[in-house]
Homo-oligomer: A and B are copies of this chain.
Amino acid sequence: MLEMLKKFTVDDAFLGRFRRLVTESVIPYQEKALRDEIPGAAPSHAIENFRLAAEYLETGSCSGEFYGYVFQDTDLAKWIEAAAYSLIASPDADLERRVDEAIDLVGRAQWPDGYLNTYFTVKSPKERWTNLQEAHELYTAGHMMEAAVAYAISTGKTKLLDIMMKMTENIYRHFIVEKAPGFPGHPEVELALLKMYELTGEAKCLELAEHFINVRGVDRDYFKKETAIRPGKVWGMDPEDRAYAQCDVPVRDFTVAEGHAVRAVYLYTAMAELARRSGEKELTDACVRVWNNIVQKQMYVTGGIGSSCAGEAFSVDYNLPNDIAYSETCAAIGLVFFARRMAELFHKGEYGDVMEQALYNTVLAGMELDGQRFFYVNPLEVVPGVAGIVPANRDELPLRPKWYGCACCPPNLARTLTSLSCYAWEENETTVWNHLFIGGKLDLTDTKGVTVDVATGYPVQGNVKYTFHPVGEKAGFTFAVRVPAWCEHAKVLYNGERLYRRAPGEETTLNTRFEDGFAYITADFKEGDTVELVLDLQPRRIFANTRVAANSGCVAFAYGPMVYCAEGVDNHNEILSLRAGKSLEPTMVPITEGVLNGMLRMDVPGYRLESDATLYSARRPRAVPYTVRMIPYHAWANRGENEMRVWLPEL
């Protein structure tokens, strides 16, 4: 999938805004944070940690102390990764020079034996690999590997890749050659190693990723044994909480999604990628089981996952509270990662459906529309005075904070929003799949002898037009377009000829088929040929399974992939008294001013309830007709603190 980073150039009206914010605002801010140049903010110290590690290796002593989280190195890694992606679309010689300098510093902080980690180098060089549960050592390595891969693809420069291959050799020696037991407390290195493998073809990367996946949970007591003998501790985590760290059973025995949501989906991502490469049924089946558990029983309608604030974790089936939702931004991003690998494994549209559900709702909600503030936690109901204040609701902030000491979600957003090309597209020898509808230019000159222009107003509009420009006279291959399951009346046109979806018997002169959520068009594409996907973007009602206690009697609204929410600022600040009507259809209204300019508002005919002023009353609240104004969920909390609800009770 990584090759798509350079093959597809995003030029998208809707997502362009977010990409630009990342390039123009988030990445520069992130860099300042790394360099401790933001007045008033908690220092990151990430660059300084690398400087100290280099100093230690070069002089044998340090002039300062390590500062920050045990995984502080990942602040730099994620910045390099985001900067690398950003440089593909927005070349910036000065930024590239500064990244090169940072990479030089990383190189200086690497031990001669390849080991790289400033926490252990500066703080306790003898304690390498003694605390896999807590110390995020492999996690940190994984993020730097992802950065290395991204930067190599983006710039062709392989210095960081070489550094991380040396680190991979170091890890390989320790865990494979010297047979050290254990596996990472926070999965990440597995998916990173598989990216290294994809780019370099280096067998040790694949073997190491496979090793960590294979040994996980086999010795259920590994963390317990480690805790008993390790010299230091980081947080004092419970080594018996195996579900939290996805090691209660071997991965092939997974039946449900459990534990810390980000750890879980990072692991599942690697499992799916490995299963695709190996074709192993047992691992594939495990991926399907956890996927199905997530999307059929543990996912918010916004594509958010990990409903439990305690442990930022998956909960039990159907436990999806709206007001005390955790639904971490990074977990939704991880779900995109997982979905992308599942899409490639199975070529079913449902994976792309979920990918865009997470992307256009929870992932985008993670960032303020000015690119300056970020949500970790993405509740589906907010009541000012309760959210962020009442102990049970303490995590659910009503407004995005500026940055975080634990800077995990903002950089994750930055790297995801700048690398959408590889989530949107997939290619093999015969076929090109389009998973996400993003405007831009697809250059398949090398492989299919064609470029494809993609023009779309998605997700605000429902048309996606692909125009083919073969290098030669024609280009013969199969072009597969996802047809979202949520769209009841979708059309696919080839040069204006209709290919109706869900009419598999209906033949055309083309070799076409509709299968598992994709329209496959096999043709000799000639200059100017077009494929068009026409999605009927009507406002949609969504009903939850009755087992979701929090949504009893409620309905959610969506338009295309975007789930909508009602905010107080549009509704006289009384969201809790609003009810959605059952019969009349909502209408879409363009927003033409303010920070939401260009989006579509949804006007839902409904009611405003006037209850007695008392806490309880024998009188049923009087229902007054009222049009509930709703906006895309991702855009909530951009106009000050106010009430918000995704699920509205129906009347």
Chain A residues proximal to chain B, CB less than 8 Å: 295-297, 299, 301, 308-311, 315-319, 321, 323-324, 381, 383, 385-386, 389-392, 486, 488, 540-549, 552-556, 574, 576-577, 579, 582, 609-621, 649-651
Interchain CA distance A611-B620 in the complex, whole Å: 27
Interchain CA distance A295-B609 in the complex, whole Å: 22
B649 touches A545 (CB 8 A): no
Select one of B324, B385, B612, B614 contacting A316, CB under 8 A: B385
Most chain B beta-carbon neighbours within 10 Å: one of A301, A546, A577: A546
- On whether A321 and B392 interact (CB within 8 A), knowing A576-B549, A649-B649, A651-B553, the answer reads yes
A546 touches B620 (CB 8 A): no
- On whether A611 and B319 interact (CB within 8 A), knowing A390-B308, A554-B553, the answer reads no
Give the residue name and chain of the B residue nearest to A613 (CB). Answer: B545
A546 touches B324 (CB 8 A): no
A545 touches B391 (CB 8 A): no
Instruction: Please give, as numbers and ranges, the residues of chain B lying within 8 Å of A324 by CB-CB distance.
Output: 324, 392
Instruction: Please give, as numbers and ranges, the residues of chain B lying within 8 Å of A540 by CB-CB distance.
Output: 618
Instruction: Please give, as numbers and ranges, the residues of chain B lying within 8 Å of A541 by CB-CB distance.
Output: 618, 620
Interchain CA distance A610-B316 in the complex, whole Å: 21
Can you list 15 contacts pairing A with B, beta carbon distance less than 8 Å?
A296-B615, A310-B391, A310-B392, A317-B385, A319-B383, A543-B616, A543-B618, A544-B615, A545-B614, A545-B616, A546-B609, A546-B611, A546-B621, A547-B577, A553-B651
Select one of B542, B553, B609 contacting A579, CB under 8 A: B553
Select one of B299, B301, B576, B649 contacting A547, CB under 8 A: B576
Instruction: Please give, as numbers and ranges, the residues of chain B lying within 8 Å of A309 by CB-CB distance.
Output: 391-392
Across chains A and B, which 8 residue pairs bring their CB atoms closest together, nearest first?
A553-B649, A310-B391, A546-B577, A553-B553, A546-B611, A552-B649, A545-B611, A546-B609
Give the residue name and chain of the B residue nearest to A301 (CB). Answer: B616
Nearest chain B CB to A386's CB is how many angstroms away?
5
Give the residue name and chain of the B residue nearest to A544 (CB). Answer: B616
How many copies make up the complex?
Answer: 2
Give the residue name and chain of the B residue nearest to A316 (CB). Answer: B385
A576 touches B546 (CB 8 A): yes
Interchain CA distance A618-B558 in the complex, whole Å: 10
Most chain B beta-carbon neighbours within 10 Å: one of A540, A612, A618: A618
A319 touches B621 (CB 8 A): no
Instruction: Please give, as numbers and ranges, the residues of chain B lying within 8 Å of A549 by CB-CB distance.
Output: 323, 381, 383, 386, 576
Interchain CA distance A545-B311 in the complex, whole Å: 34
Most chain B beta-carbon neighbours within 10 Å: one of A385, A390, A579, A651: A390
Interchain CA distance A547-B311 in the complex, whole Å: 30
Nearest chain B CB to A128's CB is how many angstroms away?
33
19 more contacts with CB within 8 A, not counting A316-B390, A545-B617, are A296-B615, A299-B615, A309-B391, A309-B392, A311-B391, A315-B390, A321-B323, A542-B616, A543-B611, A543-B617, A543-B619, A546-B576, A546-B577, A549-B576, A552-B649, A553-B554, A553-B650, A555-B620, A556-B616
Instruction: Please give, as numbers and ranges, the residues of chain B lying within 8 Å of A545 by CB-CB distance.
Output: 611-617
A615 touches B392 (CB 8 A): no
Instruction: Please give, as numbers and ranges, the residues of chain B lying within 8 Å of A579 by CB-CB distance.
Output: 553
Give the residue name and chain of the B residue nearest to A541 (CB). Answer: B618
B553 touches A316 (CB 8 A): no
Interchain CA distance A295-B613 in the complex, whole Å: 12
Interchain CA distance A507-B651 in the complex, whole Å: 46
Instruction: Please give, as numbers and ranges, the residues of chain B lying within 8 Å of A556 by CB-CB distance.
Output: 616
Instruction: Please give, as numbers and ranges, the residues of chain B lying within 8 Å of A308 by CB-CB distance.
Output: 390-392
Interchain CA distance A618-B544 in the complex, whole Å: 9
Nearest chain B CB to A354's CB is how many angstroms away?
11
